């Protein structure tokens, strides 16, 4: 799996974000492009400790799903979004795009960081796992909008 902490991947993701069109319908799912941008900001805010943890850690979920967050297998299309991470209200495309680029840049600026906070659901991730987890989720949603 690619990592957002790799310079070429970081540049590629920026280019892909800039190719998303505000009126482009998703290939799957119900989110608009603006809602997708808003949704994809959440994991960045979690690792930057800007967003409080949602839910309680669950040993079974951690055991079953932690490796899925950063392994090489793509997320399935139409996976249900957990309720705390759903964005159902209308969002401003340009504002949400700017928010995503801002947190992307902030996280990339910390790519040499050694200690990331524990993930609220999955516990400790290494720097490598953090970069892969963030990429995998963002890539999933950029593919949802055909970029």
- What fold characterizes domain 7-144? 1.20.120
Interatomic CA distance for residues 72 and 19, integer angstroms? 24
- The predicted pLDDT at position 53 comes to 62
**pTM exceeding 0.85:** yes
How far does CA 91 lie from the centroid of its chain?
Answer: 17
Domain ranges of the chain: 7-144
As averages over each run of 10 residues, the pLDDT of the chain (147 residues) reads 97 98 96 97 91 66 67 78 85 98 98 86 86 95 97
Residues 7, 111 contacting (CB under 8 angstroms) = no
């Amino acid at each position: 799996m690619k990592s957002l902490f790799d310079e070429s991947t970081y540049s590629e993701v920026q280019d892909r974000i800039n190719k998303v069109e505000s009126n482009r319908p998703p290939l799957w799912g119900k989110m608009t492009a603006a809602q997708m941008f808003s949704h994809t900001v959440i994991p960045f805010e979690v690792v930057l400790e800007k967003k409080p943890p949602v839910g309680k850690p669950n040993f079974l979920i951690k055991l079953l799903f932690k490796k899925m967050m950063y392994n090489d297998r793509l997320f399935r299309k139409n996976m249900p979004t957990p309720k705390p991470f759903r964005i159902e209200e209308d969002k401003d495309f340009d504002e949400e795009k700017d928010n995503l680029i801002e947190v992307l840049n902030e996280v990339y600026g910390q790519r040499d960081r050694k200690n990331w906070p524990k993930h609220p659901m999955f516990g400790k991730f290494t720097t490598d796992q953090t970069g892969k987890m963030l990429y995998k989720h963002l890539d999933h949603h950029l593919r949802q909008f055909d970029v």
